[in-house]
Structure 1
């Protein structure tokens, strides 16, 4: 049987919020089967728990942020959620001392390291997948995202920036996880932004913690980071990292092909909401025998 997963023990890290600039302590704790991904604001009195679910993604300005009906915020969760998806973690409590996750180096790799250092364990309940049964699409002008039936999990994204730094490599990537490793090919891709956007972002209270250590920064022509890019097509790979995290807010791995053009957090969330609102388009499935699981999920790192 393919089982749910959590951590073997708690693990803690500290960092800075990309948009708030606030210092934040992050503690990841094991959670019971079927409890899902729950964020806990320990800086509030009383402490507030917020479960990750698509209906609570109510701010998508440059990140995915959960906002409850009482205004409690859990910001910039997509990189952490992407790491959970990459390691197949189902149940976890994420304690934070601020309204935003730490940005770390701008990718999911530090979170992968944290999770693996804590140890990943199987639990005595079957893992529940969401299998997409019919296509679901969201279109806004020349932007679109789509989920289609597929015997596994694949992501294909394209971006479009008329800029020298982007034109040096393909702006479209397809990753089928039956033959590719999330950790090796996606987790290290960093978030990016343009110098000319910085002042506007700061006027909106965003990007206050950003620097060359946690984001790729681009001027009118070049990447400003002294070390350059980690992949020639790091920009679109980071968009894939984001999309995987945004999709995992649904709380279950998807058996589907996801594709999109010029998509972002808002459209990814709209796609999930449309999927959930179309009961005929999906179903929950579990697998009694590992041999029946789509090969895209065979590459998940082994639990302890």
Structure 2
């Protein structure tokens, strides 16, 4: 496994990481290449299939424009890319601060519905330490958003922590809670392999809306009443809430840096997470950029 110990410097890749797969909503086959980039580049997606206008989409909180069932970004020329959250979660957890990602379609490949294939892809490419220190976004004051019975909050904390709670009226899921420190080891051991999930009765409606065209039992956990349709069942205990946490890590990394703070989500999805990102950006007194080391990194 091509891990590099975190020494609080920015990271990029040693070599390009390339894969191909199907977009879960578009059903289109796309090719993806994550390439090394210089310090200060951040995460930048490039739609290589678009050549008549600016096809670069730097990832920022302001770039997120759609958050119904996935996270979509758009640049000032109207070029869009969707379903970035699983790769963004992998980049965040593995400490990749700088990368240019070429993709030849409108949506990232869903692969197996988790971040595991992206982590494996990045591991094979290897990681390179850069001279610039890691920048963090430190939460100084609570920031909270609500949408019906869904909520998300960012709280001051001396490291990056996350608590997530879901509650579904089916015994297959029910109420599930996870509370953990967002670091590379925990992500690898407990989060990255958790797959996206959905309900069989929703699939037809999604497809009529032009979504989930590439969805299958190969890339999602599908629930029908009180049954899980996937032949292998679940990969782990509380896989559903673990995946929601995975999504949140990716959704928050659009801020361009990992957090020193605590995220708490209740039934939150991409829309609520993006609302939280925008609420944070609208309150500059509630956060600051810092290069100080989180407490768990000091202990390590």
Instruction: State the partner residue of 1:252.
Output: 257
The aligned counterpart of 1:41 is 47
Q: Structure 1 residues 186, 298: CA separation in 2 closer, same or farther (over 3 Å shift)?
A: farther
Q: CA deviation at 1:73?
A: 1.1
| In structure 2, distance between residues paired with 1:297 and 1:177 | 15
Contact 2:89–2:253 (8 Å) recurs in 1? yes
1:105 matched to 2:112? The reply is yes
Match of 1:252, SS?
coil
Given candidates 132, 157, 161, the residue that maps to 2:164 is 157
Query: What is the alpha-carbon distance in structure 2 between the residues aligned to residue 279 and residue 164 of structure 1?
Result: 42
Deviations 1:260-288 (A, max 9, x none): 1110111111111111111111111114x
Say if 1:179 and 1:296, in contact at 8 Å, map to a contact too. no
In 2, distance between residues paired with 1:143 and 1:27?
Answer: 35
- The answer to whether residue 141 in structure 2 is matched with residue 134 in structure 1 is yes
Distance 1:78 1:40, change over 3 A: same
Question: Is 1:218 matched with 2:217?
Answer: no
Q: Distance in 2 between matches of 1:53 and 1:293?
A: 22
Give the ranges of 4+ consecutive aligned residues of structure 1 lying more than 6 Å apart after TM superposition.
Answer: none
Contact 1:178 1:297 in 2 (8 A): no
Q: Deviations over 1:128-159 (max 9, x none)?
A: 10100010000122211000000101110111
In structure 2, do the counterparts of structure 1 residues 77 and 298 end up closer, same or farther at CA, with 3 Å as the change threshold?
Answer: farther
Query: Does residue 166 of the first structure (1) align with residue 208 of the second (2)?
Result: no
Q: 1:77 aligns with which of 78, 84, 95?
A: 84
Partner of 2:3: none
Shift of 1:176: 2.1
Going from structure 1 to structure 2, the CA distance change for 1:161 and 1:297 (only over 3 Å counts) comes to farther
Aligned residues of 2:138 and 2:261 also touching (Cα < 8 A): yes
2: CA distance between counterparts of 1:106 and 1:196? 19
Contact 2:158 2:294 in 1 (8 A): no
Matches within 5 A, 1:135-284: 135-167=142-174, 170-177=175-182, 181-284=186-289
Deviations 1:72-110 (A, max 9, x none): 111100000000011011000010010000001000000
Could you tell me which runs of 5 or more consecutive residues in structure 2 were left unpaired when the two chains were aligned: 1-6
| SS of residue in 2 equivalent to 1:255 | strand
CA distance in 1, matches of 2:297, 2:38: 25
User: Cα distance, 1:180 vs. partner?
Assistant: 5.9
Unmatched tracts of structure 1, length 5 or more = 300-304
**Contact in 2 for aligned 1:191/1:235 (Cα 8 Å):** yes
Mapped to 1, the partners of 2:249 and 2:294 lie a distance apart of: 19
How many corresponding residue pairs? 293
* 2: CA distance, partners of 1:178 / 1:38: 23
Q: Is the 8 A contact 1:189 1:235 kept in 2?
A: yes
